[in-house]
Chains A and B, each alone.
Chain A
Amino acid sequence: MTTTNLIEARDLSVRYGKKTAVNGIGFSVAKGRVVGLLGHNGAGKTSLMKALVGLLPSTGELRVLGLDPHRQRVELLESLCYIPDVAILPRWARVDQLITIMSGLQPRFSAERARTLLKRTSVGPRDKVKTLSKGMVVQLHLALIAAVDAKLMILDEPTLGLDILSRKSFYEMLIDEWCDGERSVLISTHQVEEIQPLLSDVMMLNEGRLVLSTSLVDLDQRFVGLSHDAAAADQIAAAHPLLRYRQQGQAAALFDGAPPAHVEALGQRFQPSLVDLFVALTRAPEMNRTVG
């Protein structure tokens, strides 16, 4: 395996007893990337992230920052930033106390940098966690984590339950303070539409399998949307699109690769969004059940 990638995974599986949460996936994350990890609840996102930081055992080949997450977990956790989906900060603590605690726990943590990051927010050093809104707590958490001098940040649904303004502040801090062309972030979210502009790459999990793993550059070129009149529906369907749906009242089809010219001539080409692709490539668990 090359050591230039921050994450290298090959044939990676995560199992809980008989249940397979992540099923033989392979991918890599290079430096300077913002990778979105998308999937329905139960698709395996959290299990994958836990395996990456060594909190769940996995099989297959896995290197994170050149380390084996299982055997070198302590060393790994010191050199990356991770916010789990159940992350909480102690309610009794004051912000400046948390900074002191972090300084003691994490050798790569910079108190100075944390204070600088917090100046962007409305969180004050003397505030107690229990007096902060949910959005402010997430901002504080990100500031504490982003103050760790690391190359990789792993965020499990950091914007869950936040209102639009808090999410925007979160994205701003991520772009302004983390993305420097060297550091990378892997972020799982259900906010597919609003995260898309921030991403350089996207990974989609469906029932533990990686159904899409690509850069946005390739995505732009690979998938083609075609909006068309109802009259052309049969001919479009015969060309086997990935998905047929309605978009702003208009019939549309999504193709993997450009459709044949005679099919493309039947409609108007458009750029499918990540949401369209997500719907085409993943299925909600309840739908899978009915399919059997």
Chain B
Amino acid sequence: MHTWNETAPIYRQLADRLTGQLLAGDPPEGEAMPSVRVLASQYLINPLTVGRALQVLVDDGLVESRRGVGMYVQSGARKRLRRSERERFLTQEWPLLLARLRQLGIEAGELNWDL
């Protein structure tokens, strides 16, 4: 079974997981998202909770709901997502990483960029 942690409500964690997949191009732009039923079955989550997670993606402008046919990945979603994720990395993750590098006395030249 999938494990969920206590950092956030389950719907939020599922939304983050689906967002991560969209960033990797799954599913591609213009394609249909898996249905609520499919996601509920796959993750063993209540369908209403899946609906809440998909609504987060709608609110973030990543997918759109087409009445009667389901959810589709918006065109440009990946680009926008990449932009916002870059922004988040630079403002939130990088300062923490930099502090850690300074703590350990690691210089830029010591880092292996070819991994």
Name the residue in B6, B40, B45 with the highest tally of chain A Cβ atoms < 10 Å from its Cβ.
B6
* Residue ID in chain A nearest B10 by CB atoms: A197
Q: In B1-17, which residues have CB < 8 Å from any A CB?
A: 1-2, 4, 6-11
Q: Is B44 an interface residue (CB 8 A)?
A: yes
Q: In A27-80, which residues have CB < 8 Å from any B CB?
A: 32, 34
Distance A247 CA – B6 CA, assembled complex (angstroms)? 10
Contacts A197-B10, A225-B6, A271-B9 given; indicate if A34 touches B44 (C-beta within 8 A): no
Number of interface residues of A (CB under 8 A): 25
How many Å from the CB of A280 to the closest CB on chain B?
Answer: 14
Which of B7, B10, B40, B52 sits near A179, CB closer than 8 Å?
B40
Distance A270 CA – B6 CA, assembled complex (angstroms)? 6
Q: Is B41 an interface residue (CB 8 A)?
A: yes
Q: Is the CB of B47 within 8 A of A179?
A: yes
Q: Is B94 an interface residue (CB 8 A)?
A: no
Distance A196 CA – B44 CA, assembled complex (angstroms)? 10
Q: Is B75 an interface residue (CB 8 A)?
A: no
* Residue ID in chain B nearest A32 by CB atoms: B48
Distance A171 CA – B9 CA, assembled complex (angstroms)? 20
Contacts A194-B1, A197-B4, A197-B10 given; indicate if A179 touches B46 (C-beta within 8 A): yes
1/0 per residue, CB under 8 A from A, across B35-47: the answer is 0010011011111
* Size category of the binding interface on chain B: 20 to 34
Q: Is the CB of A197 within 8 A of B8?
A: no
Distance A32 CA – B49 CA, assembled complex (angstroms)? 12
When distances are taken between beta carbons in the complex, the residues of chain A under 8 Å from B10 are 196-197
Q: Is A89 an interface residue (CB 8 A)?
A: no
Distance A231 CA – B107 CA, assembled complex (angstroms)? 36
When distances are taken between beta carbons in the complex, the residues of chain A under 8 Å from B44 are 168, 171-172, 175, 197-198
Distance A32 CA – B41 CA, assembled complex (angstroms)? 16
Q: Is A132 an interface residue (CB 8 A)?
A: no
Give the interface of A toward B (CB within 8 A): 32, 34, 164, 168, 171-172, 175-176, 179, 181, 194, 196-200, 216-217, 220, 225, 247, 270-273
With A175-B41, A176-B41, A196-B10 known, 7 other A-B pairs at CB within 8 A are A164-B1, A168-B44, A175-B44, A176-B37, A179-B47, A197-B4, A197-B49
